[in-house]
């Protein structure tokens, strides 16, 4: 039976646990999460295990990346099953601070992001989001000082923002993206999928199907504008309100006008009922 990971909830406890892990100069991978772990997170942990000797998973629902109108209060918290999954995967350390530990009284500093954080995708609809993500991930990187950190490609803009930040601030961590894990019908795994009603869950794979169809059309020579227009129509007809369906340069996330401007990434965000889903694929 795999042994339960060490659990640290305070900065001194984290330091002690890390000293133990670093003995004999073992490499350390960090997988930052907000808990509510699913098979997508497990695949991040498995990639981390292949790339480093020791694996640290952080579980912290970060209030600063949620707007007051968003789901911070109702975000799923599933500590027991999260811990069981991490134990089964042989994770070494779980870093599980509370809000007061991460943001003590008087906390007044923030990482401001530009570049991939201001390209008009998630930032257009969640203007508070990347400031909160960059600040908490910057803190996690300085607290844990990992050699590598693994993030899901599902949050593609987040992956680009965090990669840029780690390089810009010389944080000494290599950020690695991990492929999106999908349900059998193509829906990208997400902790927020539990919000979907059975009807909405039935409709949700249209996002992936429509991105695949748009990629096919682009490769067949269809104009970007036409491919995007018909994708938005298809997704709207399935009951979604589309925030964006965009084809961007995969590295810079800059807008493009043709397949020749590639490598390209299709990115979508759309709401069904009160649940907002995001997804992306390579063209
Ligand atoms: O992707 C997430 O779960 C969060 O945005 C992250 C990276 C753990 C920061 O809170």
State if residue 155 touches ligand 1 by the CB under 6 angstroms criterion: yes
Task: For residue 73, count CB atoms less than 10 angstroms from its CB and return exposed for 0-12, middle for 13-18, buried for 19 or more.
Answer: exposed
What's the mean per-residue pLDDT of the chain?
97
Across the range 75-104, mean pLDDT stands at 98
State if residue 138 touches ligand 1 by the CB under 6 angstroms criterion: no
Query: Can 202 be counted among the known catalytic residues?
Result: no
Share of the chain above pLDDT 70, in %: 100
Query: Do you know the residue count of the chain?
Result: 283
What residue's CA is closest to ligand 1, atom 5? 133
Across the range 112-124, mean pLDDT stands at 97
Q: Is residue 257's pLDDT more than 90? A: no
- Which of 280, 144, 147 has the alpha carbon at shortest distance from 214? 280
- The torsion angles phi and psi of 181, rounded to 5 degrees, stand at -100, 135
Residue whose entry in the numeric block shows the structure tokens 């942990």: 45
Q: What confidence score (pLDDT) does residue 55 get?
A: 98
pLDDT tens for 26-35 read: 999 999 999 9
pLDDT band at 24 (very low <50, low <70, confident <90, very high): confident
Across the range 254-277, mean pLDDT stands at 94
Q: What confidence score (pLDDT) does residue 1 get?
A: 74
The full set of domains in the chain, from first to last, is 6-178 (3.40.50.620), 191-282 (3.30.1300.10)
Share of the chain above pLDDT 90, in %: 96
Q: What is the distance in A from the centroid of ligand 1 to the CA of 61?
A: 8
Q: Is residue 150's pLDDT more than 80? A: yes
Residue whose entry in the numeric block shows the structure tokens 């997804």: 279
Across the range 153-170, mean pLDDT stands at 98
**CA distance linking residue 155 with residue 190, whole number of Å:** 10
Lookup: tokens for 10:
């305070």
Q: Is residue 50's pLDDT more than 90? A: yes
The region of weakest confidence among 47-51, 62-66, 261-265 is: 261-265
Q: What confidence score (pLDDT) does residue 75 get?
A: 95
Helix then strand count (H, E) for the chain reads 10, 9
Give the pTM.
0.96
Q: What confidence score (pLDDT) does residue 48 get?
A: 98
Task: For residue 75, count CB atoms less than 10 angstroms from its CB and return exposed for 0-12, middle for 13-18, buried for 19 or more.
Answer: middle
State if residue 162 touches ligand 1 by the CB under 6 angstroms criterion: no
Q: What confidence score (pLDDT) does residue 260 get?
A: 86
DSSP annotation of 187 reads P
What residue's CA is closest to ligand 1, atom 8? 33
Q: What confidence score (pLDDT) does residue 110 get?
A: 96
DSSP-assigned beta bridge partners for residue 249: 264
Q: What is the distance in A from the centroid of ligand 1 to the CA of 258?
A: 32
**CA distance linking residue 282 with residue 40, whole number of Å:** 18
Across the range 133-158, mean pLDDT stands at 98
Phi and psi based region of residue 258 (left: phi greater than 0; alpha: psi -120 to 50; beta: remaining): beta
Q: 3-state class of 254 per DSSP?
A: coil
Lookup: tokens for 274:
């009160």
pLDDT band at 259 (very low <50, low <70, confident <90, very high): confident
CB 279 within 8 A of CB 180: yes
pLDDT tens for 174-215 read: 999 999 999 999 999 999 999 999 999 999 999 999 999 999
Q: Is residue 9's pLDDT more than 80? A: yes
Lookup: tokens for 139:
């803190």
State if residue 64 touches ligand 1 by the CB under 6 angstroms criterion: no
Lookup: tokens for 141:
């990187």
pLDDT tens for 76-89 read: 999 999 999 999 99
Q: Is residue 217's pLDDT more than 80? A: yes
Task: For residue 261, count CB atoms less than 10 angstroms from its CB and return exposed for 0-12, middle for 13-18, buried for 19 or more.
Answer: middle
The pick from 30, 31, 33 for probing ligand 1's pocket by mutation, whose C-beta has the most ligand atoms within 8 angstroms, reads 33
Q: Is residue 249's pLDDT more than 80? A: yes
Cis peptide before 70 (omega within 30 of 0): no
**CA distance linking residue 266 with residue 215, whole number of Å:** 8
Across the range 86-105, mean pLDDT stands at 98
- CB count in 10 Å sphere of residue 71: 15
């Amino acid at each position: 039976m795999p042994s339960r990971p060490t659990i640290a909830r305070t900065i001194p406890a984290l330091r002690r646990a890390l000293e133990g892990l670093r003995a004999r100069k073992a490499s350390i991978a960090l997988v930052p999460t907000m808990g509510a772990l699913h098979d997508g997170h497990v695949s991040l942990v498995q990639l981390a295990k292949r790339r480093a000797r020791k694996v640290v998973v952080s579980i912290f629902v970060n209030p600063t990346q949620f707007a007051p109108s968003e789901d911070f209060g109702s975000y799923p918290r599933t500590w027991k099953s999260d811990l069981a999954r991490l134990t089964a995967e042989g994770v070494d350390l779980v870093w599980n601070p509370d809000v007061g530990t991460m943001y003590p009284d008087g906390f007044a500093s923030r990482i401001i992001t530009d570049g991939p954080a201001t390209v008009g995708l998630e930032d257009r609809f969640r203007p508070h989001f990347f400031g909160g993500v960059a600040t908490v991930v910057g803190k996690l990187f300085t607290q844990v000082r990992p050699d590598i950190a693994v993030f899901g490609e599902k949050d593609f803009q987040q992956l680009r923002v965090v990669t840029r930040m780690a390089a810009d601030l010389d944080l000494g961590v290599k950020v690695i993206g991990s492929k999106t894990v999908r349900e059998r019908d193509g829906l990208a795994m997400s902790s927020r999928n539990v919000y979907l009603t059975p009807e909405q869950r039935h409709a949700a794979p249209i996002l992936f199907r429509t991105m695949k169809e748009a990629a096919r059309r682009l490769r067949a020579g269809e104009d970007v504008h036409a491919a995007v227009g018909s994708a938005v129509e298809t997704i709207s007809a399935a009951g979604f309100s589309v925030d964006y369906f965009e084809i961007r340069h995969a590295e810079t996330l800059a807008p493009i006008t043709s397949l020749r401007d590639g490598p390209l990434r299709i990115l979508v965000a759309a709401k069904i009922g009160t649940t907002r889903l995001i997804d992306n694929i390579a063209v």
